[in-house]
Structure 1
Amino acid sequence: MDSSAADLSQKLSREAEAVCHQYLSNGRKHGHYWVVGDVDNTPGRSLYVRLTGPTHGKGAAGKWTDAATGEHGDLLDLIAANLNLTSLADTLEEARRFLSLPRQEPPAIATQVPAPRGSPEAARRLWAMGRPIAGTLAERYLSARGLTDLRSVSALRFHPNCYYWREDADADDAPDTWSALLAKVTDTAGALTGVHRTWLDPQTTGKAPLDPNRKAMGNLLGHAVRVGTPSDIIAVGEGLETMLSLRQALAGLPIAAALSGNHLAAFDPPTDLCRLYVAIDNDEAGQAAFGTLTDRFEDIDLQLLPLRPMLDDFNSDLREYGIDKMRSHLRPQLSPVDVQMLPMAEDS
C-alpha cells in the first residue's frame, strides 16, 4: 500500500464506526463490531467490521471480513467495493471527501477524444463524474417520493450539471445543463453498460420541466439498474422509483430496474436463480412484459412470481398508503419461504 493510501487507511480506522454508519447504514453495532449482510449494504450478518483496536497491524480497527464470500480488507477496500470504485485514485478521493481533507491536485492528463453521444463509453465517463447522493438535490428528490436511506446505494449518483440535448434542437445548438440523478445500468457480472438520467428542478426538488425528463444511454438490452446481491431470488420491474419502493418494503430483496416495459421483457436474470419476482405496473405494458418473460423461461427451472401493486405502481402505493399497508399487500404474493426470510415489519 503506498504512503498516501496507508495514511488514509489509518485515518479511516480512527473513524471506523462513522464509516460504517455512512456506507453500511443497514447494519448495526454488535459489541466491538459492525455487522451487515455484505459490502452492498444488504441487511444481514455475514460481514463484520472491527470498530476498535490499533490503527494498523493485527486486530486493527476497520478490518473487515465477509464470512459468506471470504472477502476481507481495510476501510479503503470497503469503500471501493461499496461504491464500485475501480481505481485507487477514485477510492482515495472518496476517502478524502469523507474525512473532509483537501483535494489533491490531479496530474496533467492528455486531452480525451470525445466519446460518441449515447455510447457505453459516454455513459462510463458520465458515471465517473457523478458523486454520492448524500446531501444533494437527488437525495431530496427521492425523499419527496417516500424513498429514504439510500445514501449507501452504490448504483445511484448525482451530477450537478448534466447535459440535456433537446429532441428538436439543431445540430449546432448547445445543450442545456440541469442537475440529474444518475443510475448505473449493469450486466449480470456487474459491469457498467449504461446510465439512466433523471433531470431535476432545484426550485421544486421534482423532475425538471423537460420533455422527456428521463433518458438512458449506453447498452440497455437485457441489463438493469441493480441494487443488492442476488442469491437465489431477485425482483425486476420497470421504473427506478418503483423498484426502490419495493426494496424499501422488502429490505432483503435484491432488485433490478429495467427502465421500460420493452427492456423488462428482455431482462437477463442471473444464473442459478430459483425465483424471479416481477413487479408488474398496472398497465398493458407491464402485463405484456410479464407474459413475454413467462414465455421466455417456461422451459427452464425458474419460477416466475408476479408482484402487483394496489395502484399504478409500487411508488404510488408507498406514497399513498405507507410502508406497513404496502407490506400487508405484498405478503400474500410472496413464496412462503421468502415470507420467512425477508424482513417484514408487523402489519399495522
Structure 2
Amino acid sequence: MTATLRLAEELIARPSVTPDDAGCLELIAQRLAPLGFDCQRMDSGPASFRVSNLWARRGTGQRPTLVWAGHTDVVPTGPVEAWASDPFVPSHREGKLYGRGASDMKTSLAAMVVACEQFLSATPEPAIDIAFLLTSDEEGPANDGTVVVCNELQRRGERLDWCVVGEPTSVERTGDMIKNGRRGTMSGKLTVKGIQGHIAYPQLAKNPIHMVAPALAELAATAWDQGNAFFPPTSWQVSNIHGGTGASNVIPGTVVIDFNFRFCTESTPEGLQQRVTDTLARHGLQPGTDFDLAWTIGGRPFLTTPGPLVDAVRAAIMDVTGIATELSTTGGTSDGRFIAPICPEVIELGPPNATIHKVDEHIALSDIEPLTRIYLGVLQRLNGRAAQAA
C-alpha cells in the first residue's frame, strides 16, 4: 500500500458529509506541520452549520506561491443499502478503491500531501512557498468555506501565484483533461404580478402567465454571446415555474419563474441582467409595477490561459502518463471561482469523475500513483522556474 493510498483510505473512513469535516483537516494538518507549514484554522458559520477551513503556508510569503486547494466534505451517500460495501469503509474490488469521496476528492487531497512530502524531502530549501487552502463546505452552500479564507487572505495581502484545485477533472485516465477555467453562474427569481380572478371572467382579471409568456419565448431564443476559444456560448435556462392555486377555474395572481445563466467571459452579470430587464420591458412589463426580479450571482467565470502553471501541468502529465492533456472549461462551478480573483493562475486537476456523487463511488488503483507523481512534477517545475528567475 502506497503512502497516497493509505492516506486516502484514512480520509475516506471519516464520514465528512457537508459541513462536518469529521477530523479530516486535523489529520492533514498533522502531516503538514512537521514539514514546516504554519497551519491556521479559519472556521466559519453558525453553530448549526459550522464550516471547517484550513490555511497552511510554508514559507515567508515573499516568494512565488503554489496553492493546493480542495475540500474534505462529501455529498450524502444516499441509501446505504444500495452500496456494495459501507461507503465509509474503504474497500478494494477488481482493482478499484471504493468509498464516498474516493474520486471527489479525498484521493486528490492525499496525493497533494504526499507529493509535498516527497518534494520537500528531496528539496528542503525550495525557491517557492507552498500553501494549502482546504474547506468542508464546497459541496454545500459554499458561503463559509473557501470564500471566507480568500477574503481574509486578500485582507492580509498574502501572495498567491498559482493554484491547483484537486477536483476530479479527468475522463478516462488521470491527466487526460484539466480545467483551465469555469463558466460563471447567475440565477434569477422573476415574480410577475397579475390579478387573480374567475377563469370565466378574464376581463376582470389579469393573467401573469399570459403576460410573461412572449418575453419568455424571446429569452429562450436569445443568443447572449458567441463564446470564445475557451468557452461555449452563454446559456439561459428556466428551472422552475410556479403559478396558480391548483384549481382549474382560477386565473393566478402571480407566477414565479426561476432561471439560471451559465455565462462565459464574453458576458458580464450586469450586462445580462440589463438585457433581461430590457426584454421584459419590450413586452410591456415594468419593474416594480408588473414584476419583481431578484438576482443571485453564484460565481463569476475565470480563465487561465497557457502560461507557467498550465505549461507545468501539461509537462508533468506528459512526463508521467504520456498524455497530451485537453484543456476544458466545461462542467459546473468549483471553488476556483473564489480563488481566481486573488490568484492569477488557477487550474483544476484530479482523477476520473465518472462515479462522483454516485452509489459505489470509486477510483481505479492505477490512477492514484500517477496523480501523486503529476502533482510532484508540478512542484518541481514551478520550483525550477522560480529558482531560475531568482
TM-score (norm 2): 0.26
Larger CA Rg, structure 1 vs 2: 2
Question: More relative contact order in 1 or in 2 (CA 8 Å, sep 6+)?
Answer: 2
TM-score (norm 1): 0.29
